[in-house]
Each structure stands twice: as C-alpha cells, then as structure tokens.
Structure 1
Amino acid sequence: MLDPDLPAATLTELSERYRPAGLLGFTHELDGPPPPRTGVPDTHPDLALLLATSGSTGNPKLVRLSRRAVLANARSIATALSIGPGETTITSLPLHYSYGLSVLNSHLVAGGTVVLTDAGLLQRSFWADLYAYDCTSLAAVPYQYTMLRRMRFDRSDYPALTTLTQAGGRMAPELVDEFAAKMERFYVMYGQTEATARIAVLPPDRLAGKPGSVGVAVPGGRLEIDDGEVVYHGPNVMMGYADTAEDLARGDDLGGVLRTGDLGRLDPEGFLHITGRLKRIAKVFGTRVNLDDIERLLHDCGPVAVTAGDDRVIIWTETLDPSAMVRLGRRVATELRLHWSGFDVRHLDHLPILATGKVDYRTLESLA
C-alpha cells in the first residue's frame, strides 16, 4: 500500500524495483510500460503486507509484515485501547500509513465500526459524517491536533465522541493537556511502521502522572534500552525490509526484535520516555547537538522544524518577523552555549507536511 498521489517518476522507480503484477488506485500513470515480471521469485508464504517506511517519499524501503504481525498488533491495540463492538471511528488518517491502517484493523478485529471517508479534517463533510454516524473515537497526529486547536474544536458539538488517540511523533505537553481535558479518554501512543503500528500506549489514567511518557509496551510486547536505544520485542515486529522484488521471497530476518533507532529511557514502572533519534544529530563547531532537543526547546514558538546544515543547524519557521527570527537563533545558541552564528533561521510560508502529518524533513533538507 502506497500513497495514491505518488509522482509518476517515483511510482515508476518503485515499479522497476518491485515489479508488481498490477497497480490500482494511483493518480498518476507510470512513465512508460510496466516492467516485465520474468524471473520474479514467489513471495514468502508468511508475507501479508508491504508498507513504505514512515516519511519516505523519494526512495522508500518497504517494510515486510507477516499475517501474524498484522493480526497480533490489531489485537494488542484493541486490548490496550479497550476497543469493543460498540466503538465507531472514522478514517482520519490515510490507510497507506501504518497508524491509519491500524485504526481500521484494530476496530475490525474487535467487531467495531469504521466510517470510511475521503474527506480531511478541514472539510465540513468529515465532521458531518463524524456526527451523523455517532463516532466514539478519533485518531490524529500532532500536526492535526494543532489544526484542531486553530479550528477551535468543541467536543460538545459531537456528543458521542469520547476518545482521542495520538501517535506519529511527539506532541507538545500543553497540547496534550488541552485535548485530554476535553475528553473522557485521551491516549498518547508510540509506534513505528516496522512494528506494524503501535509499540507503546499511555493509559489515560496515567497521563497526569507521567508527563512526556509514551506509555508501556502493548500487550504481548516488551521494551528494553540498549546503550540508550529503544529496543522492542514482540510478535508485531516486521520480517525485515525489502529493497527489490527478490527480497519479497525472504523469511523473517529479525526474529521479533526491533532496534527502533530512537533514544529513550524506561522509568522504574516501565514507562517509556523518548528522548531523541540516533540519527537526528548534528555538529556545530565540533559540538554534537540533538535536533529533536532543539525542536522541543522551541515548542512554544509556533510551527518550527530543525535540520542539519554544513557545520550549522537550520531552524525553519513560519514567522515573518525578522527580529523574532533573530531571537530564535540567539535563544538556542544561549541554551546550548554555542556561538549564535552556528544557527541559521529561515522563513517558509508553510512547513512541508507529509500525508502522515509529520514534517517532511527530506524536502527541507533539499531546500537547504
């Protein structure tokens, strides 16, 4: 499953690598005839689903997911979120995104109901459907919650809505508190496509006492920290990546163990706190700085994204005020005790956002 709006060149490149038997539902056509399938090996019998790694656009790896992994994670999520036959949700996220697909699967496995819509949160028909079908829950990523705040979302307009869920990246604490106060249940979650979807869930009754945590491992899973890296063990871990059609014949490469690439810690009760990414590191004048830490530092400055440049950090902001932009750079430099010239603040009318609601860092890096 892929983004239906992939550019023709990207779709063509993927088709040449994976040589599919058919393509359905895409906006653009291939640049030329489809590649021949001669010599393509049979896919492994356990392979059920291929999803693109979250955030990939130009040259994505595909995540190989088994039937067991998809079913195990759907059941774990249904248990952790107390989803039952009486629950109704709506497709607020694309189904080619692991979070969106897991919302569908976890409700179906529990006998719940899913309202299918092509509309997004900014369209009136979405909210009309949410009201008309008495939806009890809504799933969203941090950027969408920022949109909901700007839209002045009022829970009282939707009396059946009792539950909100959040995954897809870290959400500002004040935004978590704001929406948790509106709802009976607000779930903060953490996951990766490589683990089918969800890895950890923070129960609503622990939200106040565990600020910044993403919760405990989903039922059937286990978390550990190895040299600062979050490692997850569970039946929902992928079989491995696929770069070509030949990789689809491979079996399970990982044995249920996923090194997430995220940095984190476990508190004494086993609650996970994500502290950054292994690869979201830059050097400024020889000093290592964590780009995620800088974004957290600037969470009160409106939409901000941070990328690495040549021996400097680039801070992307939607603000137009030149003096405010200067203050951003000086603030970070002061906090990190580095010279202000190591921080380049640049304006964009709108930060590029992927279909998943996450910042498109690859596009930002290309602009640098």
Structure 2
Amino acid sequence: MELYNLIRKNEKLTFTDSSTGVSKSIAEMDQSLKIDNIRSVAFIYNDNQLPTIETLLNFYQSKFAIALLGMSLNDNFKENLEEKYTPYYIYDPSRTEIDGYSPVNASDTIVLFKRNENSIYPIHPKIKLLLSTSGTTGSPKFVRLSDENLVQNAKSIMEYMPIKEDDVVPLNVPINFVYGLSIFTTNCIKANQIICTDKDAFQKEFWLDLKKYGYSTLGGVPYFYEMLYSIGFFKKDHPSLRYLTHTGGMLNHQLIEAISEFSEKFGKQFFAQYGQTEACGRMAYLPPDDLLRKGTSIGLPVQNGHFEIDKETCELIYNGPNVFGGYANRRADLQFYEEQEKLYTGDKARVDNEGYYYIIGRIKRIVKLFGVRLNLDEAELLLKDALGGQTFICLGINDKYLAVLYTDDLLNKELILKVLKAKLGLHASSLKIIHMENPVPLTPNGKVNYPLIKEQLETEILV
C-alpha cells in the first residue's frame, strides 16, 4: 500500500498518547499486531487514542478493507452495521463482548473481536477504506475509497500545506471524519510527532497539552473557530502554533477579520479549505494571503483537481484523482469500485474573475416559506455578519417556519427578528426565534448536527 509506505519512510515519526503519555515510533507500530492477513473487512471504532492508531496502521498495511467509524456510535447502530457487513475483525474497546465474535489478543495491549463464522465474500481489490458521511445515525451507506484516492489527496495537500519535519500535530479532529483523516495522513508522511487525543477545545486539558507538547497547528470547522473567538483565543499569541486549518463551511466576516488580524500580528498562516468525504477530504484551499481579500471564498482547486459549475443549477462539480469509487449500502456492494469522472458536490457555487470559487449554499439547504425560496446557509451567514459573529442555526420546520436558534446570552429575540425582517423581508408569523441554553449538538466531526436539532424541534417544541 503506497500510503502506508510513504508513512513508514518517515523514520523519525512518533505517536504519543496524550492521556497516558505513552509514545511509540513508527517502527514500533509496524506489524505489531498478530492478525490473519486475508481479504475481508475490519471495523475500527475510533477514539483517536494511540491503540486505535496502532490498529489502523496495522490493518492498513494488510489485505483488509477498513471501515473507520466513531467509537461513540450507539450500540444498536453498531450492531446493525455489523450485521449488514459481517466484518472479520472488530476493534472496539468500549465493548467487552460482541455477539457472534470472540476476543483475541492481537498484542499485549490490543484486543480484537474475531468473527466466529466465516465472513469471506468478494471485495473489489481497489477498496481500501470505507467512511460514513452520516456521523451519528449509523447509516449503512459508506463511501468507497482506494489507496490511490488517499495518496493523491495527501500529495496535493502537501503541495500547499507548510508541514515541517519537526512539527508536533494533535489529532484534535477525529480521524473517522475525512478532514481529520487527511490531517493524520499528510502529517504522518512528513511531521515529527502525532499527539493522539480525544480532548477538545472545551476542556482545560486541551490547552495544557498545547503548551506541554508545543502544537504546531490546529484544525477545525466553523463552530470550532467561533468558539475560539468567543474565548479570546485570537487576542494573544500562542508561540508554538505556525498555522491553522479550516473546512466544513463558511466563516463569517467578523471572524475572518479577527483571524486575519491575529495572523498578521503574530505571524501565523490560516488555510480555509473545502472538501467532502467523496474526495478524501480536501478539494480546494484559499491561500493565507488571500483570506482578507477574498473573504468567504473556498479558493482554488488543489493540485490535479478541477472545478466546473453547472450552468442550469449552479452546482459545483469536481474532477480529480481523489474522487471516490461510489457508495456501498450493503456488503454485496463491496465487490464493485466504480470509477467516478466527476463528483457532483450538492453545493451551489460561483466563480469570480480571478478564478476563486465561492459556495453560495447547499442545494438541499433550501426551504420555501409562503412561496419564497430561502437559502438557510445564507441566512445563517447574514445573521452572523449583522450580529457579531455569534453561532446561529437556521432550519426549515414543517414547511411553515424558519427556526433560528442562537447561543449568545447577550442577544435578544427582538433584535434577531428585526434583522430578519429588514434583510429577508420575512413576517414574524413565519419565524421561531429560540435561545439555546444547552451546548449545540454536534456530529462526531464537530459540525452542527442539523438533523438532530431539526428532529427535536419538530417533535418537541413546535408540535
């Protein structure tokens, strides 16, 4: 496997578990597990800890196809997925037993569950990794990725990302999220130390680790940076940090200005990016020098990538060697790998006269209120720009209302209502303004969990 070979060549690479302080070199991780090297499926439930990373690297260099999932997935969802795909091995430290499986000691510290009955079935030779786009629902739908897909995307990212050979990189984005996976692979190829951690920026321990290990970089989605802004992160220097990365949605103008000022004052670089699981993570990036000038642009295609915009629908279409081999909804689908010439992103976009691309909304994030089409992403950005860069969540409810949820205690409903009426011309009867007292529900990849919030609103609040 080319990706593993590129990682293995980085002989200085070390992995450190932030919870235990245990460190292992890439040489110590190499073939450290005793597993049957056959062509089948292995499920790895990820918690970003060192044993998980060791398990992943061992299975990646084997003949297995790997389904990488979140360990916090509901047990019923796990059982449903396992029934549909009958994996040969399962790695899941959160469970002590799994029906139909027996525990086996793959090493002194790592226990795998091995299927009792034969689970060998045809798997296309190109399929190496299966990733879910659903995050929390346990959908059996997987994105089929090849080693070549992952290698090509890693190489294209490394063309613009300023990774250095002495960098210390935290896995603060879960690696079962494709963005976290691409952070992991690119830095494994070139950086010095990977800090395996499940701590997030809401925890004091995360910031203690930043100082202890001297993190060179951080990555996150818009909500992550909105939270950093709210705690004053951008008002002071963090000496070890050289650059920050972002993907997963648009940043509001106030946040862009704060990050630009922070970057200029303290000599940092900020890379706004755009990607999807179906393209291994990253399809475009905005050069740091263009952040203030181009604002909400996703920038330019990565090396060997190409964009076009459908003239009728304005849908952004991507072409490149990192485009996936189709979806799998059941184990029989794993015998196929369908080369995709183009990836239809589901995002609406425009391009300016300098070739910089802008996402103007999701095709599916559109609602109709009294016959008027409303782009929910644009509504969120409008509120963030008008009211100080806070977190807003806009949802269409029962085809009757625009629900606007906000988190800032200093804001009031009347002010939000005034902005919506003035900017969008919406009548108060079509609006539901709700203050969120509890933390915003997030998917495992750190994005706002729109489906969960929508379900709660429709069943509990607005019945």
After TM superposition, the score normalised by the length of structure 1 is 0.91
Q: Cα distance 1:352–1:186, how it changes in 2: closer, same or farther (>3 A)?
A: same
Of 20-29 and 189-198, deviating more is 20-29
Q: CA deviation at 1:333?
A: 3.4
From 388, 408, 420, the equivalent of 1:332 is: 420
Match of 1:72 in 2: 152
Summarize the alignment of residues 1-368 of structure 1 with structure 2, pairs less than 5 Å apart.
1-25=68-92, 27-28=94-95, 32-33=99-100, 41-53=121-133, 55-59=135-139, 61-153=141-233, 158-183=238-263, 184-227=268-311, 228-255=314-341, 257-299=342-384, 300=387, 302-310=390-398, 311-318=400-407, 324-349=412-437, 350-367=439-456, 368=458
Looking at structure 2, the residues matched to 39 and 28 of structure 1 have their Cα atoms a distance apart, in angstroms, of 21
Looking at structure 2, the residues matched to 88 and 131 of structure 1 have their Cα atoms a distance apart, in angstroms, of 11
CA contact (8 A) 1:53 1:60 kept: no
Q: Cα distance 1:303–1:28, how it changes in 2: closer, same or farther (>3 A)?
A: farther
CA contact (8 A) 1:9 1:30 kept: no
Q: Cα distance 1:3–1:39, how it changes in 2: closer, same or farther (>3 A)?
A: closer
Q: Cα distance 1:26–1:229, how it changes in 2: closer, same or farther (>3 A)?
A: farther
CA contact (8 A) 1:46 1:66 kept: yes
Matched-pair identity in %: 34
CA contact (8 A) 1:6 1:27 kept: no
Q: CA deviation at 1:326?
A: 4.0
SS at match of 1:145: helix
CA contact (8 A) 1:5 1:26 kept: no
Of 280-289 and 11-20, deviating more is 11-20
Question: In the TM superposition, what whole-angstrom CA distance separates every residue of 1:86-127 from its partner, at most 9, and x where no partner exists?
Answer: 333211111111111111101122354322223222333333
Q: Cα distance 1:317–1:156, how it changes in 2: closer, same or farther (>3 A)?
A: closer
CA contact (8 A) 1:239 1:253 kept: yes
Looking at structure 2, the residues matched to 154 and 361 of structure 1 have their Cα atoms a distance apart, in angstroms, of 28
Q: CA deviation at 1:31?
A: 8.1
Q: Cα distance 1:329–1:253, how it changes in 2: closer, same or farther (>3 A)?
A: farther
SS at match of 1:176: helix
Q: Cα distance 1:119–1:57, how it changes in 2: closer, same or farther (>3 A)?
A: same
Looking at structure 1, the residues matched to 415 and 235 of structure 2 have their Cα atoms a distance apart, in angstroms, of 36
Q: Cα distance 1:280–1:55, how it changes in 2: closer, same or farther (>3 A)?
A: farther
Q: CA deviation at 1:324?
A: 2.3
CA contact (8 A) 1:6 1:28 kept: no
Looking at structure 2, the residues matched to 306 and 60 of structure 1 have their Cα atoms a distance apart, in angstroms, of 28
Q: CA deviation at 1:27?
A: 2.7
Looking at structure 2, the residues matched to 28 and 293 of structure 1 have their Cα atoms a distance apart, in angstroms, of 42
SS at match of 2:367: strand
CA contact (8 A) 2:86 2:119 kept: no
SS at match of 1:223: strand
Q: Cα distance 1:248–1:348, how it changes in 2: closer, same or farther (>3 A)?
A: same
Q: CA deviation at 1:167?
A: 1.0
Q: CA deviation at 1:356?
A: 1.6
Q: CA deviation at 1:271?
A: 1.0
SS at match of 1:357: coil
Looking at structure 1, the residues matched to 92 and 98 of structure 2 have their Cα atoms a distance apart, in angstroms, of 16
Q: CA deviation at 1:265?
A: 0.8
CA contact (8 A) 1:329 1:344 kept: no
Bigger radius of gyration among the two = 2
Q: Cα distance 1:74–1:229, how it changes in 2: closer, same or farther (>3 A)?
A: same
Q: Cα distance 1:54–1:209, how it changes in 2: closer, same or farther (>3 A)?
A: farther
Q: Cα distance 1:174–1:29, how it changes in 2: closer, same or farther (>3 A)?
A: farther
Q: CA deviation at 1:204?
A: 0.7
Q: Cα distance 1:21–1:296, how it changes in 2: closer, same or farther (>3 A)?
A: same
Please give the root-mean-square deviation of Cα atoms over the aligned residues, in Å. 2.4
SS at match of 1:48: strand
Of 239-248 and 299-308, deviating more is 299-308
CA contact (8 A) 1:12 1:30 kept: no
